[in-house]
Amino acid sequence: MAEFLYFTGPMDCGKSTLALQLDYTHTAGGRLGRLFTSQDRAGEATISSRLGLVRPAIEVTRGFDFWDYVVGQLTGGERVDYLICDETQFYASVQVDQLARIVDELQIDVMAVGILTDFQTRLFPASQRLVELADKIELLQVRALCWCGERATHNARTVDGVMVLEGEQVLVGDTTAVGEPVALVAYEVLCRMHHRRRVTRAVARATLSDPLPFERDDEELSPLDR
């Protein structure tokens, strides 16, 4: 039986890397599939990983119909064994229903990868629909870390470096690493407590007397800590 799988986690936990790894594994096993994405940070019709992996994919616009596309491929003599869908938080709910129909009626595996909640800690509509319809939901095992060292579970949006809790649900940006300039619109992963308190890395750096856990120099560490 075909399966409808949903892999989810916050930003910076390797979701796009997993999508590309899944495609590689299935291709190596002799299967033929299709890659889909929406609003990837690297540009249209692209799946990109922060590790530097990049693959072309089919861009999912609001009017894209998965059912019509797959049926068209099959009736045209093409082989489709699976679909890998990245950035699914940006899909429309009806498109998730189309994916479920493909699994049930065409017996084609669908592996969906995306973020569960937005910067306000609310479910994306498509993510909610995936939770409702997927055969299995898996949290990614790679743990993104908050600046404090705890597991990051929430996505924070910053505008000019200031965390915001109002605005459009979908506003494409990227996370920034330590030492990188902060973009106009950027995202940062935080633990629940620091998201609730709105304490981003920049706020912590400005208000705490001790260096942040990930910003200590080697000379400040004891030999046992190194």
- Separation between Cα atoms, residue 199 and residue 151, nearest integer Å: 15
Q: For 122-188, where are the alpha helices, taking DSSP H only?
A: 125-133
Tell me the C-alpha distance between 125 and 107, whole Å: 25
Of 131, 136, 48, 47, nearest in space to 96 by CA: 131
How far apart (Å, rounded) are the C-alpha atoms in residues 148 and 173? 22
Q: Give the active site residue among 59, 87, 105, 220.
A: 87
Q: How far is CA 2 from CA 8, 26, 107, 108, 175, in A?
A: 20, 14, 5, 6, 35
Q: Is residue 87 annotated as a catalytic residue, yes or no? A: yes
Question: Which residues does the annotation mark as catalytic?
Answer: 87
